[in-house]
Amino acid sequence: MTSTPRRIDVHQHVVPPLYREALAGQGITEAGGRALPDWSPSAALELMDLLGTETAILSISTPGTGFLADPGEAAGLARRLNDFSAALSAEHPARFGWFATLPLPDAAASAREAERALAGLGADGVTLLANTGGDYLGGAGQDALWRVLDEHGAVVFVHPAELPGPAVDGIPPFAADFLLDTTRAAYLLVRNGVVRRYPRIRFVLSHAGGFVPYASHRIAVALAADTGRSPLDLLEDLRGFYFDTALSSSPAALPTLLAFARPGHVLFGSDWPFAPTAAGQYFANGLDSGVDPATLAAVDRGNAEALFPRLADAPAPAPARRPLPARLRQAARRAGARAFFRLVQPGTDRGGPREAG
């Protein structure tokens, strides 16, 4: 990057101490097959400065509150997490926004907490896991929640969870199952008409929508056979989702995403800290080198400004006054990440074209 892009990261996670303690109380030390990562506001800001991110919209990752069997305990944890995120955002208003955590599968309690977070705490939207204990978004009994979110014109960040079945030995859930989980939720949200009945909700699908862009026509044909609707209408419903680039802006995935998504519907995402810093740099370089400048500016910031108008007029924060050695280390890390990205692309041999064999 030759200049600071002022990115808005819609897929960055927060791991508050109270959440880590709640998980530990249930013997949970990992999520999606990865150990719970270290997190602090200062580490988040350091990563953001490295990637050229001005503002991150923070969210709680899987398992959300779904690991608690008691609905009252789940609702109480959601309230505490949202209070924590609201306070963090108030402390760093130019750097952090947040998506509220809701205690699904209890739709009524989730509707109440969504109202509190959106109207009372100033949340930028809500996070919903694709499934909670096997109950998928788009299933029966969720209309109380959809009505509240539609009334607020809410942004709904859909994040995958572990599939409601045993993992396959040797395949960590985050590597492949997460993509299927998001795809299942998107399928049901379209199949069961949620996206049409509640048109003011803006759904953001994590990780470029899982398999949705790649398999969109296959999905549309299956849905058409099931529902009797036109495949073209179903494709338009699928294209109506928003998609983030977290772990997805590769030379293989990015062209498919941009070819499928509606203009303005692709947003920058890093998935930090569950995706380590090196992975964030790798995929940020894929975005930086894979699209034209106008598309890059839209994905980095412009498209998110349309979803979060409060950020559109936000002045750029004053650059951090880092000591010279720290600035040099950061520049070296960026240069090294760019070189590594170029080195490992298919069809290249140490950065140069392969000879025909």
Q: Which residues contact 225 (CB under 8 A, 6 or more apart)?
A: none
- Neighbouring C-alpha atoms within 13 Å toward the C-beta of 304: 28
- pTM, to two decimals: 0.90
**What does pLDDT average to over the chain?**
92
How far is the first Cα of the chain from the last one, in angstroms, to the nearest whole number?
35
Beta bridge partners of 159: 129
In a 3-state reduction of DSSP, which class is residue 349? strand
CA-based torsion, 344, 350, 353, 357: positive or negative = negative
Above 50 in pLDDT, residue 4? yes
Greater confidence (334 vs 184) lies with 184
Span 103-131, mean pLDDT?
98
CA-based torsion, 49, 51, 55, 61: positive or negative = negative
| pLDDT confidence band for 338 (50 / 70 / 90) | low
Tens of pLDDT along 121-167? 999 999 999 999 999 999 999 999 999 999 999 999 999 999 999 98
CA-based torsion, 208, 210, 214, 219: positive or negative = negative
Nearest by Cα to 234 from 195, 182, 181: 195
In a 3-state reduction of DSSP, which class is residue 58? strand
Given this model, what pLDDT does residue 349 score? 47
Cα–Cα separations (whole angstroms), residue 220 to 211, 213, 232: 13, 11, 8
Given this model, what pLDDT does residue 350 score? 41
Given this model, what pLDDT does residue 316 score? 73
| pLDDT confidence band for 330 (50 / 70 / 90) | low
| pLDDT confidence band for 206 (50 / 70 / 90) | very high
Tens of pLDDT along 10-57? 999 999 999 999 999 999 999 999 999 999 999 999 999 999 999 999
Locate 125 and state its tokens.
Answer: 């939207």
What is the phi/psi pair of residue 248, to 5°? -135, -5
Above 70 in pLDDT, residue 339? no
Beta bridge partners of 8: 55
Above 70 in pLDDT, residue 333? no
Above 70 in pLDDT, residue 233? yes
Nearest by Cα to 88 from 142, 30, 40, 131: 40
Span 336-356, mean pLDDT?
53
What whole-number distance in Å separates Cα of residue 266 and Cα of residue 301?
10
What whole-number distance in Å separates Cα of residue 303 and Cα of residue 301?
6
Tens of pLDDT along 259-300? 999 999 999 999 999 999 999 999 999 999 989 999 999 999
What whole-number distance in Å separates Cα of residue 126 and Cα of residue 100?
4
Tens of pLDDT along 243-258? 999 999 999 999 999 9
8 A C-beta contact, residue 182 and residue 148: no
| pLDDT confidence band for 345 (50 / 70 / 90) | confident
Above 80 in pLDDT, residue 327? no
Given this model, what pLDDT does residue 324 score? 62
Helices (H), the chain: 17-25, 41-51, 71-91, 107-115, 143-151, 177-191, 194-197, 212-227, 231-239, 254-260, 277-290, 293-297, 303-307, 324-343
Locate 109 and state its tokens.
Answer: 């309690």
